[in-house]
């Protein structure tokens, strides 16, 4: 169809223009090429060749690019909305480590949006910024207003890519499980945590207090669980042993390690 994919042209040029390992240039060099094409008619008969003029390309070897490429910088998005009183100071913070998708937890209650700074003087991503969303998202008229989460107010795992116009929101629930309930994550056994809007954390109160070993588990399963040190919780970390009756879990700030308190 007359179109040459860029990746194929790049591969062909690298195969033709071979560099010695100890002589790889650190700046671009000129390469000269011609494009040769031949048309085949409807009968499958090859027609006359067409040859382009000589074209000059400034080439940088892929070996050099791979070694010196600038690393992707970590960036963040804030999630102000009904779940935090539209206050950036306590809004959830998502992290992007691949230059494409921001990920993290946020408590959603009705309407919300994203901003690239902790305030309203930066870039906003709202209902006009997305074209592909999970079913629990209502973009309304898509005219630049707030995004609406249609589910019940809950802690959610968010994956959002403004550059691709994609937004995925998954409601989750966290609970406390351990020797005190025979390590059962089933409903009625695990102690469910609820969101404390005043302290912006998940909270559970255990009658009589907790003792022995225990952990945090998500969605009545062990696929996602936190253990280790209270100030530095880790996926699949060691069992916790802190004692107390009021347990708080902080997971909305993706620039910080998940952490907890027990009292």
pLDDT for residue 187 is more than 90: yes
| Rounded Cα distance, 263 and 252, in Å | 21
Minimum mean pLDDT among 66-70, 81-85, 224-228: which range? 66-70
Average pLDDT over residues 200-220: 96
pLDDT tier at 201, thresholds 50, 70, 90: very high
| Rounded Cα distance, 231 and 31, in Å | 56
pLDDT for residue 132 is more than 70: yes
Average pLDDT over residues 114-141: 96
pLDDT digits (tens, 9 = 90+) for 60-81: 655 554 545 567 789 999 999 9
pLDDT for residue 7 is more than 80: no
In the block, residue with structure tokens 């600038």: 70
Kindly report the average pLDDT of the chain as a whole number.
Answer: 88
pLDDT tier at 45, thresholds 50, 70, 90: confident
Average pLDDT over residues 35-43: 70
Average pLDDT over residues 170-176: 98
Q: Which residue has the higher pLDDT, 178 or 17?
A: 178
pLDDT tier at 190, thresholds 50, 70, 90: very high
pLDDT tier at 113, thresholds 50, 70, 90: very high
Q: Which two tokens stand for residue 243?
A: 């004692």
Q: How far is CA 86 from the centre of its chain?
A: 22
pLDDT value at position 67? 47
Q: What does pTM read for this prediction?
A: 0.74
């Amino acid at each position: 169809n007359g179109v040459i994919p860029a990746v194929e042209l790049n591969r062909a040029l690298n195969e033709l223009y071979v560099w010695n390992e100890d002589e790889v240039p650190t700046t671009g060099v000129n390469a000269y090429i011609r494009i040769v094409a031949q048309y085949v008619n409807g009968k499958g008969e090859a027609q006359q060749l067409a040859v382009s003029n000589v074209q000059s390309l400034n080439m940088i070897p892929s070996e050099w690019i791979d070694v010196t490429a600038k690393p992707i910088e970590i960036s963040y998005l804030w999630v102000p909305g009904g779940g935090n009183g539209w206050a950036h100071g306590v809004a959830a913070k998502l992290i992007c480590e691949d230059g494409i998708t921001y990920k993290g937890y946020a408590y959603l209650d009705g309407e919300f949006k994203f901003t690239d700074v902790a305030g309203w003087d930066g870039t906003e991503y709202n209902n006009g910024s997305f074209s592909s969303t999970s079913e629990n998202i209502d973009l309304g008229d898509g005219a630049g207003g707030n995004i609406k989460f249609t589910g019940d107010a809950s802690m959610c795992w968010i994956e959002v890519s403004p550059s691709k116009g994609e937004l995925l929101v998954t409601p989750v629930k966290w609970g406390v499980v351990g020797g005190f309930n025979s390590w059962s994550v089933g409903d009625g056994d695990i102690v469910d945590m609820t969101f404390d809007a005043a302290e912006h954390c998940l909270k559970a109160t255990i009658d009589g207090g907790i003792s022995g070993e225990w952990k945090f588990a998500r969605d009545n399963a062990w696929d996602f669980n936190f253990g280790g040190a209270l100030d530095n919780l880790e996926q699949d970390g060691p069992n916790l042993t802190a004692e107390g009756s009021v347990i708080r879990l902080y997971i909305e700030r993706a620039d910080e390690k998940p952490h907890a308190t027990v009292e």
